[in-house]
């Protein structure tokens, strides 16, 4: 019986230490502006275990540093979707999407067009 408990303890310790407390990952999140950036980053950083969340407006990439012992990418993606932003894995509900500001309606082609860089900004 003692051998079984010892093996179980060693196995549990190995699994616990195998998880990274400073895991780095990135996920794609839809959005179009600075207000989206603030909302996305706030939703991610408020997820228990997330240490850093930086979203790029141009690339739609959300770079994360998080504790794998406390959360995972699916949980973070769900938190972002809950505030109205689609990820590659989880799509925001219509209710959540409709709660974002009118200028943040990234599914609307006219809104996306309004947020494209102007010709003079490209130089």
Domains in the chain, CATH or no CATH each: 21-117 (3.30.70.100)
Distance, in Å, from the CA atom of 32 to the CA atom of 36, rounded to the nearest integer, reads 6
Instruction: Tell me the pLDDT of the chain averaged across its residues.
Output: 87
Q: Which residue did the predictor score with more confidence, 108 or 8?
A: 108
Beta bridge partners of 61: 28
pLDDT digits (tens, 9 = 90+) for 75-90: 999 999 999 999 999 9
Q: How confident is the model at residue 112 (pLDDT cuts 50, 70, 90)?
A: confident
The average pLDDT across 53-58 equals 97
Distance, in Å, from the CA atom of 113 to the CA atom of 95, rounded to the nearest integer, reads 23
Half-sphere exposure of 71 (CA within 13 A, CB side): 24
């Amino acid at each position: 019986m003692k051998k079984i408990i010892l093996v179980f303890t060693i196995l549990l310790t190995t699994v616990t230490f195998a998880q990274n407390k400073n895991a780095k990952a990135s996920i794609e999140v839809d959005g179009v502006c600075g207000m989206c950036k603030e909302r996305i980053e706030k939703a991610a950083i408020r997820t228990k275990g997330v240490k850093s969340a930086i979203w790029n407006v141009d690339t739609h990439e959300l770079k994360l540093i998080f504790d794998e012992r406390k959360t995972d990418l699916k949980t973070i993606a769900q938190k972002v979707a809950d505030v109205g932003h689609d990820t590659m894995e989880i799509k925001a509900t219509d209710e959540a999407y409709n709660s974002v500001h009118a200028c943040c309606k990234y599914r609307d082609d006219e809104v996306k067009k309004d947020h494209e860089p102007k010709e003079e900004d490209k130089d």
